[in-house]
Amino acid sequence: MQLKVDSNGPYFVENGVLQITNVSHRDQGLFTCVARTPVDRDTASALLMVLDVPDAPEYLVLSDHKSRSVKLKWIPGDDHNSSTTEFIIEYEESQWEPGSWKELLRIPGNHNSAVAKLQGHVDYRFRVSGVNDMGRGRPSEPTERYKTQATAPDKNPENVKIEGHLPHEMDINWEPLLPIQHNGPGLEYEVFYKRQGVEEDWQKHTVKRHSFVVTNTPTFVPYEIKIQARNNQGRAPEPKIVSGYSGEDFPSAAPKNVSVEVMNSSVVKVSWTRVHKDTLHGHLGGYRVNWWRMRSLADFKKKHGDKQTLVFPGDRNDGVLPGLTPFSEYSLIVMTFNGRGNGPGSHLHNFKTPEGVPEKNPVFGVTDVQKHTASLAWAAPSEPNGILTGYLLEYQLSTYPYASRSAHLDR
């Protein structure tokens, strides 16, 4: 077939190159270019292959219907010169999310059938689409509906969490089963619990929600818990046992033997004796140190500073407080904390920081310049950080040689 080459058509020649617009599968084939002269002719040929995603599979049918499985079989669509690498089987159910298609499984591209394992008490439809290196093709037409029989749940809830927000309660929460995992009507959860290490029977409560609060528990004692799903057809397999604690209460004891070691003029190390675990009444969070500046030792007037806090997580007996003001008197207390809150504070402990370098003079200037003299004025530092004994004045000649000089001035 001779091509009609036209600048306004799908085929046109530009700079000796054949251009094809809006390429489709109909353009696939052998193209031959013929060059003619009055005395001779020559030809050159090229094979054009058009790549695309696979066509939709056809004649998708169901067979081997069983209570929890069904076999799907189909005829693959044209792969358009790029081999199909896999097929994606999707399902849609009519009860929980009708019209929403979800992936069920993937199988290799050299297969044209698969057995799908299904949930109980679900009204299914299926469709299949092919995938190649060009991408995913359109899905097949959906199958007729197939409803499975109701059965007991296959699994129990996961991610069981035990928390205690109040001293005599235990909150149990879990991730509920998805609606499609119910396998039948009447889904409920059986909550079993008992104290760990104590010879006693399991306590059981049945709920429809995915949480339960056990009341009147001892404060912060270990429990064993298991959650079992059931519906009108029966129970799920025996659940795993998880461990947790009943509610926490505030710690009842304060750290003792608090001491302070001065590291330098602005850093101290605080040490204490750990509180006994029986007085924690919860999971140890760590220790909290509150401190505040009482006064500067250079100014005997009482001057309370703002309270500052530093938290030291975990089970430890010391911590470092940085950023203190030199030559000052401080007070501090140490306390422990758990998930409920802080325990009582230790006895008040006072300590002093040694002298440090004075802060920068906030004001400095030249007030009067004469032929051989200059008058200077400055303000005392806002924090002398010690007993101020004098000032060091440094100056430099502005003409060569640029010699530096200094002078010590008494306070």
- Domains, the chain, with CATH or none: 11-48 (no CATH), 58-147 (2.60.40.10), 158-245 (2.60.40.10), 256-352 (2.60.40.10), 364-410 (no CATH)
Give 31's contacts (C-beta < 8 A, 6+ positions apart): 3, 18, 45, 46, 47, 48
Rounded to the nearest 10°, the torsion over CA 241, 242, 247, 250 is: 140
Return the SS3 of 251: coil
Distance CA 383, CA 265 (A): 13
Return the SS3 of 262: strand
How much is the pLDDT for 302?
A: 58
Q: Which of 220, 223, 196 is nearest to 212 (CA)?
A: 223
Q: pLDDT-derived band of residue 408, with 50, 70 and 90 as boundaries?
A: low
Task: Evaluate if residue 286 carries a pLDDT over 70.
Answer: yes
Task: Evaluate if residue 285 carries a pLDDT over 70.
Answer: yes
231-258 pLDDT, tens per residue? 999 999 999 999 999 999 999 999 999 9
**pLDDT higher for 214 or 8?**
214
The proportion of the chain whose per-residue pLDDT surpasses 90, expressed as a percent, equals 69
H-run or E-run covering 107: strand 102-108
140-144, 357-361, 374-378 — most confident range:
140-144
Q: Which of 33-47, 49-63, 277-291 has the lowest mean pLDDT?
A: 33-47
Calculate the average pLDDT of the chain: 90
How much is the pLDDT for 404?
A: 60
Residue 98 is encoded by which pair of tokens? 């009708």
Distance CA 387, CA 356 (A): 10
293-335 pLDDT, tens per residue? 998 888 766 566 789 999 999 999 999 999 999 999 999 999 9
Strands of 201-360, DSSP E: 203-207, 211-215, 222-231, 234-235, 242-245, 256-264, 267-273, 286-296, 308-313, 318-321, 328-337, 349-352
Distance CA 242, CA 200 (A): 17
